[in-house]
Every structure is written in structure tokens, then in C-alpha cells.
Amino acid sequence: MSSNQPSQAVAKHKQYLFPAITMYYQDPIELVRGEGNYVWDHAGNRYLDAFGGVLTVSIGHANPKVVNAVVEQVKKLSHCSTLYAHAEMSNLAEKLASIAPGNLKKTFFTSSGTEANETAMNAARAATGRMDIITLRHSYSGRSLQTLAGCGQSGWKKVPLPVAGIKHAHAPYCYRCPFGQKFPECGLKCAEDLEELIITETGGEIAAFMAETIIGSGGFIVPPPGYFEKATAIARKFGGLFICDEVQAAWGRTGEHWWGIQHWDVKPDIMVSAKGMGNGAPVAMTIATPEVADKFPGITFATFGGNPISMASTRATIEVIEEQNLIDNCKTVGAYLGQKFKELMEKHSLIGDARGLGMMQAIELVKDRKTKEPAPAAVNKVFEEAKKRGVLLGKGGVYGNVIRTGLMLNAGKQQVDELVAAMDAGLTVAAAG
């Protein structure tokens, strides 16, 4: 890379923001511009953005169609709140009802995944009249008290969490199976764990089972075939609704379908998404069956929910995904990327597992393939080396030892090759110690 010129923005970030708001890299990056799959820092260095601001810039930075939709909307009306109808909001809700699985027909728009999950949890409790919600270990669901309590990672739970009624089931984490078993001989013990949890830790009736389709921040943990069918059947046996958190796995990213959960044969009662839906606009949704939505109590309101600018951005993003067949692209290019990660695994013993669906692919680094001892320091080395080579990656996993990638939905094999070459070099450096 060409320049290491110090950044004023990084210095002020360190001085004036909460220290907990950490930045990636030894020398953090100030980003000033993005176009398509690439971003530029303050010193003019170009990077392949292989994480998309945490899977959020889904169809490329400054996508012309999205830019145009936003600019045209700002010129007309920037805000109206949910006290008034707006065509961008109601048309988008209609569109979501047509592409969401099963009988998910009514939407509540908000501005972040946290709010959308909070809404979903409240809706499930109100609709069932019950309290207990089962979530998964290793999961992440947001920063509000209730969603933090739902998280299954100690790193995110450092504030006091006086929230009752949330229990954590074992994760469907095949690489580190909590039961020491192998799929399919395991008989999906992780899903069966829900039953024991419910009959020992709750009053025997639950409001909901809430799960990410692919456990994202936890390191792209992909549940095995049959997991959701079995887990949701158990939850429903005890009266629970299924809340599917598609904050990361939606919008075609997993290939083949709009929604990650469509890789399993189950229908959510409530589904949540955010991140990639507006290509960077602060927008989120909680979509529910009419039976659930109609029971949401009292009156409610969200100042920025359904904001015309976010709605226009989301509408344009969905149009681009449809017009450019990006769900197919995720399947093809994602399979190519998955294959390349398997090849990296043959070459580098640091990689204990390579996993993912579509354009949601990760590698988990270990010091030793037998003991599976996590190797978070090696992740940091790969990060620094890939950065030198102009590639930005994502981290994850409760042990900080997973490298996550979230290339844009319209990335091609060229971007995959760039990404893999940088990771290959980084892994070589990391292995050297």
C-alpha cells in the first residue's frame, strides 16, 4: 500500500468516542469514499471491502440506483414518522409480504437490528401471553437490555443484565459440537437440547424460540440440515413461536433464496432483518403473521421507522437484487469462494474449519487441528497482512478466532481471487509466527 499518513479522524475517534467503540487494526483506518466493491482511506489507499461494513453494503458502495433513489427522495420529503402514510413505506411493506416465507404479512419498520429484535421479542410475549424466550449460545441479537440478555457471547454482555425469562440452548455448532458428536450420527442432539431446557428451566410453556439462521457474529455457524425443523417443532410443542433473526442472512446473501431460513423447511412466525436491506441506510424490519401482529398491544410508534429515505434506499436495493439476478450470483460466486476456502484449508493447517452459505463464508483458525485450541492472534496477523495487501476482512467467534467474509452480493470471481490471495499470504505470515 502506498501511504501511512496519520489520520485526524482516527485520533479524534480515540479521543472523543467511548473507548468501547473499538476499531479494527493496529493502525485503524479512516474511510473517506467507496465505489462498488472498493473503499478508499484518507491517504488514498484502495481496499477491497470484503466485509461490507458487516454485511451491510450489500450491492456496492455508492450504487447509482440507490444513490438516485435517495437523492430524489431527499428532494421531496425526508421525514414523516409513522403518524402518516407514505407510499415508499406501504409499497415496501407490500413487497416484503410477497417475498417473505409462509404467512409473514405485516411489518413494523425500525432503524436497527436491535430495535427489530426487541420488537420481535415483545410481540412474541404479547401474542402468547408467556414470558420465556429460548435463544442460542454464541448468538448476537443487539444492544438493548433484552437483546443483550438474548446474546450468547460473554464479550457482549459486560453491562448488568437484569432481564428475566431468557434461556440459552446449546448452539448447532458442529465443529465444536457441545455434545462431542458428529452429524448425522448425533441425531441432532443440539435441537433436542431445547426440550430438556424448556422442561427444566421454564414453567413448561414458552413465548418463543429465537435464533439467527446462520450465527453471524458468533463466527458464521451454519446449523446442520434438519436442525430448524426439529428445534421449531419442539418449541411449538411447548407453545413457542419461532422468531428468525435474518439480520445477516437475508436479501439473497446465502444464495438460491431471498431468506437464509428458506434452506430449511420451516416457516417463522416472526422474522427480523436489518443490515443489508438498505445498502447502508439505517433501516430494519420485524415482519410477522397477522395473528402475531394483530396482538401487538396498545399503540406504538417509531420516529424513524419507515423513514422515506431509508424506504427508498431499500426499495432500490431490492430492485437491483432482482434486476441483476444477484441471488443466483450469490449461489455461483459463493460456491466458488467456499471451494477456494476449502483449498486454503488443504494448504494451511491453521484453518480448522471452513464453512458458510453463499456469500457468507468464514474460516476458523486453530493452533492445533486435534485440540482445536483457538488461534485469535493468528487472526490478527492475517488481518494486518491482508490490509497491507488492500483487503478488509471481518472477525467473529466467541474466541475471536474466526475470519468472516461478506463480499457484496454483486461481487465476482475476480474479487474472490483478490480476497483469497490476500488471505493466503496472511495465513503464510501467521503460520511463520
Report cis status (omega within 30 of 0) of the bond before 184: yes
Question: Cβ of residue 302: shortest distance to ligand PLP, in angstroms?
Answer: 14
Question: Cβ of residue 319: shortest distance to ligand PLP, in angstroms?
Answer: 23
Question: Cβ of residue 115: shortest distance to ligand PLP, in angstroms?
Answer: 7
Give the burial class of 31: count Cβ atoms within 10 A of its Cβ; 0-12 exposed, 13-18 middle, 19 or more buried.
Answer: middle
Task: Give whichever of 30 and 245 is closer to ligand PLP, judged by the CB atom.
Answer: 245
Question: Cβ of residue 61: shortest distance to ligand PLP, in angstroms?
Answer: 18
User: What is the SS3 assignment for the chain?
Assistant: CCCCCCCHHHHHHHHHCCCCCCCCCCCCCCEEEEEECEEEECCCCEEEECCHHHHCCCCCECCHHHHHHHHHHHHHCCCCCCCCCCHHHHHHHHHHHHHCCCCCCEEEEECCHHHHHHHHHHHHHHHHCCCCEEEECCCCCCCCHHHHHHCCCHHHCCCCCCCCCEEEECCCCHHHCCCCCCCCCCCCHHHHHHHHHHHHHCCCCCCEEEEECCECCCCCECCCCCHHHHHHHHHHHCCCEEEEECCCCCCCCCCCCCCHHHHCCCCCCEEEECHHHHCCCCCEEEEECHHHHCCCCCCCCCCCCCCHHHHHHHHHHHHHHHHCCHHHHHHHHHHHHHHHHHHHHHHCCCEEEEEEECCEEEEEEECCCCCCCECHHHHHHHHHHHHHCCEECEEECCCCCEEEECCCCCCCHHHHHHHHHHHHHHHHHHHCC
Question: Cβ of residue 139: shortest distance to ligand PLP, in angstroms?
Answer: 7
Q: Can you state the angle between helices 326-347 and 413-431, rounded to 10 degrees?
A: 20
Task: Give whichever of 250 and 363 is closer to ligand PLP, judged by the CB atom.
Answer: 250
Question: Cβ of residue 314: shortest distance to ligand PLP, in angstroms?
Answer: 14
Report which residue's Cβ sits closest to ligand PLP.
113
Task: Give whichever of 397 and 426 is closer to ligand PLP, judged by the CB atom.
Answer: 397
Task: Give whichever of 220 and 238 is closer to ligand PLP, judged by the CB atom.
Answer: 220
Q: How many CA atoms lie within 13 Å of 270's alpha carbon, on the beta-carbon side? A: 33
The footprint of ligand PLP (CB under 6 A) covers: 54, 112-114, 117, 140-142, 212, 216-217, 245, 247-248, 274
Question: Cβ of residue 123: shortest distance to ligand PLP, in angstroms?
Answer: 16
| Residue whose C-alpha cell is 455461483 | 332
Question: Cβ of residue 412: shortest distance to ligand PLP, in angstroms?
Answer: 25
Residues 6 or more apart in contact with residue 386 via CB below 8 angstroms: 392, 393, 422, 423, 425, 426
Task: Give whichever of 274 and 333 is closer to ligand PLP, judged by the CB atom.
Answer: 274
Question: Cβ of residue 93: shortest distance to ligand PLP, in angstroms?
Answer: 19
> CA-based angle 361:363:364, to the nearest 5?
140
Task: Give whichever of 248 and 317 is closer to ligand PLP, judged by the CB atom.
Answer: 248
Task: Give whichever of 7 and 248 is closer to ligand PLP, judged by the CB atom.
Answer: 248
Question: Cβ of residue 275: shortest distance to ligand PLP, in angstroms?
Answer: 6
Question: Cβ of residue 387: shortest distance to ligand PLP, in angstroms?
Answer: 21
Strands 106-110, 284-288: pairing is antiparallel
